[in-house]
Amino acid sequence: MAALVVNILWQVTSRFALNDPSSYTEEIARFLLIWIGLLGGCYAYRHNSHLGLDLLTQKLSPAAQRLAALLIDTVTIAFAALVLGYGGGQLVWLTLELQQTSAALGIPMGYVYSVLPLSGALMVFYCLALRDRTRAPEQGS
Amino acid sequence: ACHQQQQVVVLKMAHGLDTQHPVHQAMQHMATRLGELSAGSMRIDIYPNAQLGGEREILELLQIGSLALTKVSSGPMESFVPSFKVFSIPYVFRDYAHLWRVLQGEVGRELLQAGDAVRLHGLGYYDAGSRSFYTTAAPVHSPADLAGLKIRVQNSITSVEMVRALGGAATPIPWAEIYTALQQGVVDGAENNPPSYYLSKHYEVAPYFSLDEHAFVPDILLVSLPVWEGLSPQQRQWLQQAADDSVQLQRQLWRESTAHALAQLRAAGVTIIEPDKRAFRAAVAPMHASFRGTATGALLQRIAAVE
Amino acid sequence: MGISALVLLGVFTLLLLLNAPIAIGIAAATLAAMLFTMGFDVAVTTVAQRMVSGINSFTMVAIPLFILSGILMGRGGIAHRLIELAKALIGTLPGGLALVNVLSTTLFGAISGSAVASASAMGGFMVPAMEKEGYDRNFSAALTAASSTAGLLIPPSNVLIIYSLASGNVSIAALFIAGYVPGILLALSLMAIGAFYAIRHGYPVSAPTPARETLRRLLDALPSLLLIVIVIGGIVSGIFTATEASGIAVLYALFLSTVVYREVRPAELPGILLKTAETSAIVLFLVAASSAMSWMLSYENIPQQMSSFFIGLSDNPLVILMIITLILLLVGAFIDITPAILIFTPIFLPVVTAMGMSPLHFGIVIVLNLCIGICTPPVGSVLFVGCSIARSNMAALVRPLLPMYVAMFVILLLITYVPALSEWLPRTFGLI
Ligand code: NA
Ligand code: NA
């Protein structure tokens, strides 16, 4: 993850430093952003730091809260498995099979999209294990 | 909406242009014709303004099958069907008439069919005229005037090479950001056809238009192959007929639109230059030569052979 | 309205109330609604494609980079020095820091042309700084989010260009000039709220700083001020775009904090990067899901159906204008500003021009209206940035935003019903 941020930074700054309008850096930056957005989304999910509305659930009984949490976990697993995993997998298959390449780099778009099934798998994994169920700690320092 | 006839086939058509563009008007004609031909059993819903995504994304959605129809420039089409890159290579066609003889001949038909292998079925070519340079600070009379200028190009390898061959520094910038980029000096110029140059209002910030006509780039009217295969032979014939009628109308609308744009540009005080194209053609000769021995090179030869 | 719209709303509301991550709520509801019109395989693949496409944007690359530079500025002593200087200069005014926040966020937004870039850049730096001075973190983040929208009205502005293209015949130059007065009014009203809030909460007002001390702080802050000069100067002079500026900001902030001030150790960097990735991803994941939803809404023609129904309710131009205003506010709650402009300009422009409103005036109205929308839940890009930076949930951020919504709404009504506020300046310059 950290390497991705460094990469973006490197691409943008090297573009500036070389002062040669490179046609690749823009594309690399966008693709890295996709990877950061989805993998980082899984990481944030693991830390329970995604935005939610806890107005109603705060007022529920502990048993009802557990039920709500169970339902949400089920929806999350379904989303991760069906949309990111299966849908994303189909998209990867489609773009690899039909040989779509990126405009500037000419790399297969399927490689870029492979982050979809990857993050789907990660999210299911985090949901079933390893997940921090308390709210993310307040910002320190 | 609740009392729709049963069995109406709705085809969703998306594109990236605004509703005043000749392409949009021709698509509306296609929708009307399809309604007439099919006696209301088929309908086209048009989504303009890139509401449903940019050209590349719409092509993917056609492959997936959630959208049925679109028109794309040959630039983005390159990423899906590599042979379309011949249209981005500068000075491939001798003139406008040569372009259309090629498109309506064997080469044009083969290119349209090449899309079937990637789930994109070609229905016809729309006219998108010729592309020329426009600049912010000084007019371009010859390739020497482009030297060192940062020129915005479409995001395609061939477009980048084209501008390099002519001596400029190619800078890919998203369409929506060109105006600000020209105004702030991030780029010194861009290139497009007269109606787009006029409708995008880029002439407000880049008032020198040099009609060097470096590329004749048609648009392609496409239907999603999964959707096409789901239609009956009769329905396919109606759709193809509606597309043909739309293509006819679009070429006429395009000519009117180009004439109107040039007149309006002149009235707005834009400097329009008609440079000698020989120097430009000479500058890109090495680029043509670099394709020798490749599939693109073979295609270039066949195009050159068309009378 | 069709069944898919009801399904969307139902599933989304339910998941939201059960405290699902909002992004997942949006994506799941979108999928559920899509299943009514297309097959399962096509629907899931389309949602996946729309999510990726939503963040396949070079403009958005500014989000992680500005968040990173904000964190570096905060930890590396840059923010601290700038705040000390600001306190010396306007610390005697009530709510001095809040004023600095509104002013700098508006300025940054005005120059970069992007509300999200401005909210991430200024929020990442002002929010921790204000918290240190005793301000409520949620209030500070809310103020940053609201102020970042003013930059969309003050030129250059990509959304005004998009409106111009969608409307077909409004000059971009005229729109740019027309945006000044409404944008400045918006910023002034937010400054007033900031000052009022600070007075009510009794936030400390600094004692006047002696001239010598002010000078010392100025010298101390000089390298930090240079960061602002580089970023803003670079954008204005066309050396780089707003997105590239974010990369430059990171580089310079890194240099200052590790080499010059030495307040950040190299060993801390991986942690900072990881935190950046997480904070940005919260926003990006939401943007991805929302873009799938807004695609689905357009695909089902829901905006069009909704508008034609509501506009049909009255013949009175003033009432119709109010209905349009309310529809746009509702739309802004769910759809991001760019798709909303593209979808609704062709729908409403013929209606309002038939009532005698100029397309130029309507452009300012629709942009200002949707500016409110990017701060309102459940879908609002700068609201997401604000929550992510303040590490808050949406409800906590919305509470301090309420008076700001009211102020923005009052400005919106003023701009809507007093055409001169938008048209006077361009007319003075002979643009209309
Ligand atoms: Na701006
Ligand atoms: Na909103």
Assess whether the previous peptide bond of C64 is cis (omega < 30° from 0).
no
* Chain B 168-227, residues with CB within 8 Å of chain C CB atoms: 174, 176-177, 179-181, 183-186, 199-201, 204
Q: Note whether B261 and B201 are within 8 A (CB).
A: no
Q: Which residues of A touch B63 (CB under 8 A)?
A: 94, 98
Q: Note whether B247 and B221 are within 8 A (CB).
A: yes
For chain C, the average pLDDT equals: 86
CA C177 – ligand 2 centroid, Å: 26
List, for residues C310-349, the tens digit of each pLDDT value: 778 888 888 889 999 999 999 898 888 888 887 788 788 8
Return the pLDDT at C190.
95
Position C269 in a domain? no
List, for residues C130-150, the tens digit of each pLDDT value: 888 889 999 999 999 999 999
State both tokens at A129.
């294990």
pLDDT along chain B (307 residues), means of 10: 65 90 95 97 93 92 96 90 91 94 95 95 96 95 92 84 87 80 88 92 95 94 97 97 97 96 96 94 93 93 92
H-state helical runs in C237-358: 242-255, 269-299, 302-311, 317-334, 337-354
Domain end call among C244, C276, C299: C299
Helical pair C302-311 and C269-299, crossing angle rounded to 10 deg: 60
Ligand nearest to the CA of C153: 1
Task: Report which of B200, B222, B268, B239 is spatially closest to residue B68, judged by C-alpha positions.
Answer: B222
List, for residues C12-68, the tens digit of each pLDDT value: 888 888 888 888 988 999 999 999 889 999 999 999 999 999 899 877 787 788 788
State both tokens at B187.
């780029």
Q: Note whether B151 and B189 are within 8 A (CB).
A: yes
Return the pLDDT at C390.
86
Domain end call among C250, C274, C299: C299
> CA torsion sign, C254 to C213 to C97 to A135?
positive
Whole-angstrom Cα distance, residue B131 to residue B40? Answer: 39
Residue B192 three-state SS = strand
pLDDT band at A139 (very low <50, low <70, confident <90, very high): very low
Same domain, residue pair C331 and C304:
yes
SS (H, E, C) C78-99: HHHHHHHHHHHHHCCCCCHHHH
Whole-angstrom Cα distance, residue A41 to residue C64? Answer: 13
Same domain, residue pair C113 and C187:
yes
Strand pairing of B9-14 and B169-172? Answer: unpaired
Q: Which residues of A touch C288 (CB under 8 A)?
A: 37-38, 41
Same domain, residue pair C160 and C192:
yes
Return the pLDDT at A138.
37
Spell out the residues 6+ positions from residue C412 whose beta carbon is closer than 8 angstroms to its own. Answer: C325, C365, C368, C369, C372
For chain A, the average pLDDT equals: 80
List, for residues C67-82, the tens digit of each pLDDT value: 888 788 878 888 778 7
A88 vs chain C: nearest CA distance in angstroms? 5
Candidates A25, A33, A132, partner chain C, best to mutate (most C CBs within 10 A) = A33
Spell out the residues 6+ positions from residue B163 whose beta carbon is closer than 8 angstroms to its own. Answer: B146, B151, B153, B169, B170, B191
> In the block, which residue shows the tokens 């069995």?
B7
Spell out the residues 6+ positions from residue B66 whose beta carbon is closer than 8 angstroms to its own. Answer: B12, C38, C42, C43, C45, C46, C299
Same domain, residue pair C22 and C137:
no
Return the pLDDT at A141.
29
Cross-chain residue pair C20–A76, CB shorter than 8 Å = yes
> In the block, which residue shows the tokens 């297969």?
A108
CA C372 – ligand 2 centroid, Å: 7
Position C238 in a domain? yes
> CA torsion sign, C193 to C369 to C321 to C2?
negative
Note the ipTM here: 0.88
Q: What are phi and psi of C279, to 5 degrees?
A: -60, -45
State both tokens at B193.
């056809």
Cross-chain residue pair B184–C238, CB shorter than 8 Å = yes
A54 interfacial to chain B (CB closer than 8 Å): no
Return the pLDDT at C161.
77
Whole-angstrom Cα distance, residue B294 to residue B300? Answer: 10
Report the Cα B43 to chain-centroid distance in Å. Answer: 25
Whole-angstrom Cα distance, residue C94 to residue C141? Answer: 18
A102 interfacial to chain B (CB closer than 8 Å): yes
Task: Report which of B87, B102, B42 is spatially closest to residue B69, judged by C-alpha positions.
Answer: B42
Same domain, residue pair C43 and C169:
no
CA C81 – ligand 2 centroid, Å: 35
List, for residues A78-134, the tens digit of each pLDDT value: 999 999 999 999 999 999 999 999 888 889 999 999 999 999 999 999 888 766 655
Same domain, residue pair C103 and C149:
yes
Helical pair C158-167 and C337-354, crossing angle rounded to 10 deg: 40
Ligand nearest to the CA of C159: 1
Position C278 in a domain? no
List, for residues A5-15, the tens digit of each pLDDT value: 566 566 555 55
Return the pLDDT at A3.
56
Domain end call among C276, C299, C322: C299
Same domain, residue pair C322 and C295:
no
Ligand nearest to the CA of C160: 1
State both tokens at A56.
């109603």
Nearest to A50 among C57, C282, C288 (CB): C282
List, for residues C286-309, the tens digit of each pLDDT value: 889 888 988 998 898 887 787 778
| Domain of C20, in residue numbers | 1-56+284-299
Same domain, residue pair C88 and C182:
yes
Position C270 in a domain? no
Q: In what order do the strands lie in the sheet with B271-273?
A: B169-172, B150-153, B189-192, B130-135, B208-216, B271-273
pLDDT at C263 over 90: no
Whole-angstrom Cα distance, residue A77 to residue C420? Answer: 54
Whole-angstrom Cα distance, residue B209 to residue C190? Answer: 44
Residues with CB under 5 A from ligand 2 (ion): C 333, 373, 376, 379-380
Position C271 in a domain? no
Position C275 in a domain? no
DSSP labels for B109-173?
HHHHHHGGGGTEEEEEEE---EEEEEESSS---SHHHHTT-EEEE-S-HHHHHHHHHTT-EEEE-
Q: Note whether C94 and C198 are within 8 A (CB).
A: yes
Report the Cα C227 to chain-centroid distance in Å. Answer: 22
CA C357 – ligand 2 centroid, Å: 26
In order of B194, C184, C288, C366, the CA distances from C370 in angstroms are 32, 17, 19, 6
Q: Note whether C195 and C98 are within 8 A (CB).
A: yes
Return the pLDDT at B28.
97
In B33-92, the DSSP E strands lie at 42-47, 69-73
Nearest to C278 among A29, A43, A57 (CB): A43
Candidates A23, A34, A93, A113, partner chain B, best to mutate (most B CBs within 10 A) = A23
* Chain B 227-256, residues with CB within 8 Å of chain A CB atoms: none
Q: Which burial class, exposed, middle or buried, applies to C369 when counting CB atoms under 10 A from its CB (0-12, 13-18, 19+)?
A: buried
Same domain, residue pair C233 and C363:
yes
A108 vs chain C: nearest CA distance in angstroms? 15
> CA torsion sign, C375 to C376 to C380 to C385?
positive
Position C324 in a domain? yes
Same domain, residue pair C208 and C291:
no
State both tokens at C242.
């707003």
Domain count, chain C: 2
Same domain, residue pair C147 and C33:
no
Q: Side chain identity at C72, as an amino acid letter?
A: L
Instruction: Count CB atoms within 10 A of the CB of residue A128.
Output: 10
State both tokens at C362.
């309507």
State both tokens at C332.
């802004």
Q: In what order do the strands lie in the sheet with B69-73?
A: B42-47, B9-14, B69-73, B219-224, B120-126
List, for residues A38-73, the tens digit of each pLDDT value: 999 998 888 887 777 666 777 888 888 889 889 999
Position C273 in a domain? no
Same domain, residue pair C171 and C223:
yes
> CA torsion sign, C312 to C314 to C318 to C323?
negative
